[in-house]
Amino acid sequence: MYNVVKESGRKWEMKFFGTYYHSLDAKGRLVVPARFRETLKDLKTLYILQGFDGAISVYPEEAYHQELSFLEAQNFKNADARAYIRTIYASIEELEVDAAGRITLPVRIQKKYDIGQKVIVIGVGDHLEIWDEERYLSYERDACGNLEDLAAKLQEKA
C-alpha cells in the first residue's frame, strides 16, 4: 500500500495491495491488517459496498465518494444502470474503525456473503476486499489458472 501525490500536489490517492489471512472474533470483529491501518490511521469510518465474485468491498472515504460520483453520473432511465445503482446503494454500510484498528462485520453481512471465521483481506488498489477464506482460495486457483488468458483479453481491449 502506498500514497501517491497527484501532480497538483494536493490530492492523495490510497493504494492497497497484498493478501492477509485473518479471523473474525466471536463478536464479528476483524482486525484491519497493520499495513492498511498505517494508511487508514486518520480514518474512523470505512464503507461496505456490494462486491463482485462473493467479496465484500470496503472503501475509505475518498474512494467511497468517487464510487458514489460514478453512480450519480449514470442514467437512471437505463434499466441496467438503475439495477446497478439500486444494488450498490442498498448494500452500503458504514463501519466504524475502533481504537484497536478493528471493524465489526454485522451478522447480516456475514450471512449475505457467507463469511466464516477465517477470512482473507486483499488490497485491490483503491479499496479492500474481505473474502471467506475457502471461497477466495477457490477463486484464486481458478483465476490464476487462466491468468495468461485474462492478460491477453485485457491487452486485446487496450
The single-letter code of the amino acid at 151 is A
Instruction: Specify the DSSP class assigned to residue 94.
Output: E
Contacts of residue 126, Cβ cutoff 8 Å, sequence gap at least 6: 13, 14, 15, 16, 59, 60, 63, 66
CA distances from 107 to 24, 40, 81, 86, 93 (A): 11, 24, 29, 22, 12
Over residues 61-68, the mean pLDDT reads: 92
Q: What is the pTM of this model?
A: 0.85
Average pLDDT over residues 43-53: 93
Lowest mean pLDDT among 22-26, 68-72, 154-158: 154-158
Domain boundaries, the chain: 12-132
> Is 119:24 a contact under the CB 8 Å cutoff?
yes
Q: Tell me the per-residue pLDDT of 76-128, one tens digit each, with 9 for 90 and over.
A: 999 999 999 999 999 999 999 999 999 999 999 999 999 999 999 999 999 99
Q: Which three cell numbers stand for residue 53?
A: 465474485
> Quick one: residue 125, left, alpha or beta (phi over 0 = left, psi -120 to 50 = alpha)?
left
CATH number of 12-132: 3.40.1550.20
pLDDT recorded at residue 1: 41
Integer Cα distance of 141 and 21 in angstroms: 16
Query: Among 62, 69, 46, 59, which residue's Cα sits nearest to residue 12?
Result: 62
Averaged pLDDT, 44-70: 94
Please tell me the distance from the alpha carbon of residue 98 to that of residue 69, in angstroms, as a whole number: 27
Confidence of residue 156 (pLDDT cuts 50, 70, 90): confident
